[in-house]
Chains A and B, each alone.
Chain A
Amino acid sequence: MNELDMIRVLLDEAPPSAEVAAEGRRRIGTGPGRRRSRGRWAMAAGLTAAAAAAVAVAYALAPAAGAPGARPAASAGAPAPPHPAFGPATTASGVLRNAALAALQLPAGAPLPGQFVYTKLYLRQATGAGVMQTWESADGTRLGLEDAGPNQRAALPACRDGFWVDKPVGQPAEESKMRCNPAGNAAYQPAMPTAPAALRSYLHQRFGLDPGDSGGLLTQTESLLTTCYLTPAQRAALYRLLARTPGLTAVPHVTNVRGQTGVGVRSGTWKGSVYTIIFDRRTFAPLGMNWTGVSGPMKGTHNGEVVLKTAIVDGTPPLP
């Protein structure tokens, strides 16, 4: 048995159930199917991981309207701080350095164990457009929630006492026999360094990112910004590391999927797409990310997403 055979055995999975196949037929319109409650969750979650920049002013932990348990930001009601002394934004590194300065103006703070990071995201992609909300466990130990609309809600797994806990729709939570590491499931990553060299090494060790991989670093930055709560210093450190990475270009005028125009930082072609993170030209707050397929199967697709709101909250709505 060679290594290819071993992989085949290790990752072998049974065919889909009749229900899953029927749901697929329903989605492409070739069969009645049966609506499942999970809907487009996994896709939306994946794009959340790919997106990100727009954790802008809203990222100042402003309370999210309608988010149960939303806690007002420490700075709510306070006058906005003056803009820092931004430099020229004619190059990618100039834009990113300004974004780092802006990030450092955000209120400091961190979620407590047991709290959740709430994110409301608008996304447009080849499979459709819509709003999704997520409640991700700050320390990874509590069940979270993803909500993309009616009948499109699902619990996010927790890592509790070293084992995965999941809650299938309409059923009680159940502990699996699969071991897990809560830190790997946590939306708050206090161990993420803020010094560039240490951060580079952390990203390499944790995500296998090579220092010169500008596209990988850009998308991983987006992923971290969207799936985790990052402190202002962590956020600024990511932008500064990107600013030092060759291969990114500034784009003077970019419009996000909500019609807001800003200045962009664009990757080269990475995995068949070109990614552009967008910042407000005046405040350098993030305005989301666009990505366009330029080769391979995704060629010609125009996608984008914007984080509409983020908050730290104490709980989730009732889980489905």
Chain B
Amino acid sequence: MRARHETPAGSGSAPEGFADLYERHFADIYRYIAGRLGRNVADDIAADTFVIALRKHADFDPGRGPVRAWLYGIATNLVAQHRRAEKRRYQALARAGAQELAAGHDSNPGPGAAGEGMQPRLARALARLSQEERDVLLLVALVDLSYQEISQALGIPDGTVGSRLNRARRKIRAALDQEGQADE
């Protein structure tokens, strides 16, 4: 369970406090970024997230929400600067999955199956979402942030979080259904 009022540098701005924060959150932040951009890019962006957090920790307002959301906000802003790389990753995942299907392999994309032959469809659908929709959707799917935390992370109202999430999920479902029918 995370501390609701954990601060970026503990009780002050001592590096030790920030070191604790880093140890608690670095791996999760890394996996979120790697999921969106791939591991090579995540190596640097995850570290950049904490470099920015360290420089700006004085601006962090614990009254506005947990530090976890604040860190994911920084990470998401950095991911947004790599839109091309992100889309390229999804397109590559789609092609890789389609190739496996064409070769008659099981559609299992790796660690567990994303549904029968769903990987290319899902990856293509993710590539088609707007950046705003993808930010909200992936903060829910990959990180399990609440609406309130996403609101804090992205600086948007709770209602906007809900509407973007609903829109993104509808688009994904529609794409899976349509492509599923087309594949049959």
Task: Give chain A's interface residues, CB within 8 Å of chain B.
Answer: 1, 3-4, 6-16, 20-21, 23-25, 27-31, 36, 38-43, 45-47, 49-50, 126-128, 164, 166, 177-181, 184-185, 207-208, 223, 227, 271-272, 295-301
Contacts and interface: CB of A to CB of B under 8 A. Distances in A.
B164 interface: no
Nearest to A128: B51
B81 A208 contact: no
Nearest to A224: B84
B82 interface: yes
A46 B96 contact: no
| Majority-rule SS of B interface residues | helix
Nearest to A11: B35
Contacts of A41: 44
Given A40-B44, A296-B73, A7 B51 contact: no
A126 B142 contact: no
A248 to B, nearest CB: 19
Contacts of B169: 3-4
A13 B39 contact: yes
Nearest to A164: B92
B81 A9 contact: no
A297 B73 contact: yes
Contacts of A180: 88, 92, 95
Given A6-B114, A12-B31, 15 more contacts: A6-B122, A7-B122, A13-B42, A20-B46, A23-B47, A24-B47, A28-B50, A39-B44, A42-B45, A126-B51, A179-B96, A272-B155, A296-B154, A297-B56, A299-B59
B146 interface: no
A27 B91 contact: no
Closest 10 CB pairs of A and B: A296-B155, A11-B35, A46-B81, A42-B44, A13-B34, A297-B73, A30-B19, A24-B47, A179-B95, A7-B141
